Structure 1
Amino acid sequence: MTERLFDLTFYLAVPFWALMIFVPFWSWTRRIIGSPYIVVPPLVVWLVQLLPEFGSWAAEMVSPDLDGVRAAVSTAVGTSAVWAHLIAFDLFIGRWMFFDSRTRGIHPLVMAPVLVLTILLSPLGLGVYLLLRLVPGIGRRTPAVDQQAVSVH
């Protein structure tokens, strides 16, 4: 069961990433990605994994030390739970980057590789995006892009 949930977790997030990368201007993309609840499916996997061991897991997270955290995440359940946590938070970060880039007028063709990088290595993808925001002239604000970004919020 743990291995199946581990495998399932990424596939629960794939449709949302696909919308942001492949059809960023589709009206349904804005509607679907506009909900912060898109991260719930991987979080449900996280909860299902940890619920039977929640007491010991929570105790370790409240008062963490390196050996204790290592022991908690070195089990199949711990690794699968951490994976679900990462997938959910990577998706949340990607969602923020998607809307922030739309507001700034950064073209989706520029954002697509940044989002892919975020899927693979989210700290690096986020760092690249934060640097990209500093590049003068990278985003061109247009009324259409601004209107699409504002209509979601």
Structure 2
Amino acid sequence: MNWDLIFTVTNIYAMVMWLILLFAPRKPPFITGLFYGGVGLLAASYAGIMIPLMAGLIDSGAGAAMDFSSLAGVQQTLSSPGGATIGWIHYLAFDLFVGIWVARNADKYGFARWIQVPILLFTFILGPIGLVLYLMLRFTRHNKVADAVIPE
């Protein structure tokens, strides 16, 4: 399997989806397209590779079966070309999902795009840090902790 090609294609595709999220209007057709065409396609790609990998139908390049039951097994799996690629696609799909939620929620609560863009970039590059930054920002628009941290 050409892991470099799969990595490159999914990485570029995710970057295009992020550019759309950052700069395109947040109208329903764009958000729907990002959700299904972005997150959905990345998640389907992940599943389409991960299932045959776990079934042993394709080789990850690890030299052993995939093992998620121990730290050493996860390290070995993720250090292989296939493991690193599927791990990266996993991050790309979930970070884009979180980015879409952050953008829609920030729009709902009236945060300007110029405030959203750095947070979305953190979400793209450092996932959970971007989410934490947004949740802290969102807290500024609420007077109760529960309202600030429960996703709507």
Normalization by structure 1: what TM-score?
Answer: 0.75
Residues 1:45 and 2:50 are matched in the alignment: no
Within 5 Å, give how 1:80-119 maps onto structure 2.
Answer: 80-119=85-124
Counterpart of 2:8?
7
Cα RMSD, aligned residues only:
2.3
Q: 1:80 offset after TM fit, Å?
A: 0.4
Distance of 2:53 and 2:29 partners within structure 1: 38
**Does the CA contact (< 8 Å) of 1:42 and 1:84 recur in 2?**
yes
**Residue identity matched to 2:119:** V
> Is the contact made by 2:17 and 2:38 (CA closer than 8 Å) also made in structure 1?
yes
Q: By how many angstroms is 1:10 displaced?
A: 1.6
Choose between structure 1 and 2: higher helix proportion. Answer: 1
Deviation of 1:108 (Å): 1.3
Please list every run of at least 4 consecutive aligned residues from structure 1 whose deviation after the TM superposition is greater than 4 angstroms: none
Matched residue, 2:20? 19
Structure 1's unaligned 5+ residue stretches are 138-153
Q: Distance in 1 between matches of 2:85 and 2:70?
A: 20
The alpha-carbon deviation at position 26 of structure 1 amounts to: 5.1
* Between 68-77 and 6-15, the greater mean CA deviation after superposition: 6-15
Structure 2 gap ranges (5+): 56-64, 143-152
SS of alignment partner, residue 20 of structure 2: helix
- Between stretches 84-93 and 48-57, larger displacement belongs to 48-57
Percent of paired sites with the same residue: 26
